[in-house]
Chains A and B, each alone.
Chain A
Amino acid sequence: MLIKQISIFIENKSGRLAQITKLFGERGVNILALSIADTTDFGILRLIVSNPEVAERTVKEFGLTAKTTDVIGISIPHIPGGLAQALSVLSDDGISIEYMYAFATCSEDNAMVILKVSDNGEAMKILTNSGIKILTDADIATLF
């Protein structure tokens, strides 16, 4: 299944990230994974959070522009070459990775990675067929 990611547009102003994360803290939104894509003028903060609806509302109330996107979460063996194996099955089938980032937490045996790919449905099939574990909401719930 697909995971909801929240993307927030933020200008490169100092203190912006601190303000947003503080708000999440106050509303009980837990951040499980995050990445920032930045340019000289702005950045896009991408988040996987415990409760996306609350997070999105919070961001909008604060006056920022946010958007929800479906992304794939996978769990891979926490060993050398673990990530390479998952990525190569996708590239073999012509699926390109738009961006990816790892979870802030991981278990001893497994690492967890968020992928944004060119074709979600196709990628899910390929990953499942290759025996790569796709994260579900339930998996994520266990991380709290």
Chain B
Amino acid sequence: MSAMNNFWDQKNECLSRDELHDLQSKRLAALVKRVYTNVPYYRNKMHDKGVLPEDIKSVEDIEKLPFTTKQDLRETYPFGLFASPMDEIMRVHASSGTTGKQTVVGYTADDISLWSELMARCFTMTGADKSAVVQVSYGYGLFTGGLGAHYGAERIGAVTVPTSSGNTQRQITIMQDFGTTVLCCTPSYALFLAETMEEAGVKPEDLKLKAGVFGAEPWTESMRSEIESRLKIKAFDIYGLSEIMGPGVSMDCICQNGLHVWEDHFIPEIIDPDTGASLPGNTNGELVFTTLTKQGFPLIRYRTRDVSSLNYEKCGCGRTMARMAKPCGRTDDMLIIRGVNVFPSQIESVLLEMGETSPHYMIIVDRVGTLDTIEIQVELTPDMLSDEVKKIEDLENRIRKNIESILGLAAKITLVESKTIQRSEGKAKRVIDKRSK
């Protein structure tokens, strides 16, 4: 596989840093002017910070701009940050918020086209071209994973197989019968597929699989080597978040030494999460993105809460685009379980709203085999106790259903004896994550 063949848009993917600087500066100035004009919420934020569009002339001026947080998205729910008239919005996606309210993002026709284009760069980076058969096993729906990968696979002219998530047996049959060459799913699901294949006696040699585009949850290098050796493929790490676009904000290349951020469309920054100060290259901090060209839902300095670092050196693959390190943690308490974003506060709000359980709970996340599991321990109060088991089991079921409807994730509910969940004097410890980092 020659690296020469792995460019979808070689000119832009390999812009010199100077060209990139000029392009970003021009686009940033235009973005700020547009957002200032079209989005009252941003205009007010900029006034609060004492900054006007004319103050932003080049990339370096970005530090003058206010940050955007998940809280801003919540306050403007659902469409308050849209910068295009609703007539021009042609799709929305949504992701879970911290308190049950979703974060809604909108795309114009150009935005969808840009997203497809950047996903096309990602797929091409794996060596895929129009002869590829791309199986998209990310969920289709409000979640950006499925449709994002789908449009990118179509853009390169591959045979796109929209299996969506679930039904493992069928996924394997389709891989065998359709000759899938590229698999898109969460890394933990890739491992689960590998395991199921082994049990069913399906060997990697029976498949045409060459590459996997895995993301939507944190994974380790050891998971990568395990997937690569069990499926006999090259495993690529893709990163994205719906607020910025969806999958395809960045992805690692064949060198597997950091994820290339498509800097002609996004400006990445690393900041100190406590002070907000910008940090230099190769330093760990919170990853922040500004979308340069998105129309429907542009964001300025959006704080992702992901901890990463940026490397601006030219990569062995020939690309000049900065590489972000695989995110190595969060600056908030968000968990990613089976690709689903989970905030402990969502679980707490379910319990409080039900009003019949104790507010003392503990979330235990583990990985059994290859799949993440989530157990929620809830202390049983005297009010909840019944002498009849079925009434207690009823309550467990109701908690489980309510949590599932908020998180979109089935959790095991375990009632525990009162006062057995550790009380802490400061910030309560609500999560035990037993998965290896």
Cα separation A63 to B421 with both chains bound (whole Å):
12
Complex: A39 Cα to B390 Cα, angstroms:
10
Shortest CB distance A99–B (Å): 7
Min C-beta distance of A64 to chain B, whole Å: 6
Hey, which chain A residues are within 8 Å of B420, CB to CB?
A: 11
Within 8 A of B (CB), among A64-78: 64-67, 69
Contact B414 A44 (CB under 8 A): no
Residue from the list A39, A44, A63 in contact with B387, Cβ < 8 A: A44
Complex Cα gap A11–B377 (Å): 12
CB neighbours (8 Å) of A11 from chain B are 416-417, 420
CB pair A67 B418 closer than 8 Å: no
Residues of A contacting B417 in the complex (Cβ-Cβ under 8 angstroms): 9-11, 63-65
Whole-angstrom distance between the Cβ of A38 and the nearest chain B Cβ: 8
Residue of B nearest to A71 (CB): B387
Taking CB atoms, residues of chain B closer than 8 Å to A138 are none
Determine whether the beta carbon of A65 is less than 8 Å from that of B380.
yes
Contact across chains for B393 and A67 when beta carbons are under 8 A apart: no
Please report the C-alpha to C-alpha distance between residue A89 and residue B382 in the assembled complex, in whole angstroms: 34
Report B-chain residues with C-beta under 8 Å of the C-beta of A69.
Answer: 387
Closest chain B residue to A42 by CB distance?
A: B415
Knowing A9-B417, A11-B417 are in contact, say whether A66-B382 is a contact too (CB < 8 A).
Answer: yes
The answer to whether B94 has its CB under 8 Å from any CB of chain A is no
Instruction: Evaluate contact between A98 and B385: CB separation under 8 angstroms.
Output: no
Given contacts A63-B417, A64-B418, contact A116 B382 (CB under 8 A): no
| Beta-carbon contact of B414 and A67 below 8 Å | no
Q: Is the interface of A mostly helix, strand, loop or mixed?
A: strand
A5 interface contact, C-beta 8 A: yes
List which B362-390 residues lie within 8 A (CB) of chain A. Answer: 380-382, 384-389
Is the beta-carbon distance between A9 and B415 smaller than 8 angstroms?
yes
Chain B positions within 8 Å of A65 at CB level: 380-382, 384-385, 417-418
Residues of A with C-beta under 8 A to B393: 39
Which residue in A42, A66, A116 is a CB contact (below 8 Å) of B388? A116
In the complex, what residues of B have CB within 8 A of residue A67's CB?
382, 385-387
- B380 and A9 contacting across the interface, CB-CB below 8 Å: yes
- The residue that A41 contacts in the complex, of B386, B415, B419, with Cβ under 8 A, is B415
Say yes or no: A9-B385 contact (C-beta < 8 A), given A39-B393, A44-B392, A65-B380.
yes
Whether B385 lies near A7 (C-beta < 8 A) is: yes
The residues of B that contact A116 with a CB separation of less than 8 Å are 387-388
Q: Which A positions have Cβ atoms within 8 angstroms of B?
A: 5, 7, 9-11, 37-39, 41-42, 44, 46, 63-67, 69, 98-99, 116
Given contacts A9-B385, A37-B388, A67-B386, 9 further A-B pairs with CB under 8 A are A7-B387, A9-B415, A38-B389, A42-B415, A63-B419, A64-B417, A66-B385, A67-B382, A98-B388
> Which residues of chain B have a CB within 8 Å of any CB of chain A?
380-382, 384-389, 392-393, 414-420
Provide a sorted-by-A list of 22 A–B residue pairs whose CB atoms are within 8 angstroms.
A7-B385, A7-B387, A9-B385, A10-B417, A11-B416, A11-B420, A37-B389, A39-B393, A41-B414, A44-B385, A44-B386, A44-B388, A44-B392, A63-B417, A63-B418, A65-B381, A65-B382, A65-B385, A66-B382, A67-B386, A98-B388, A99-B387
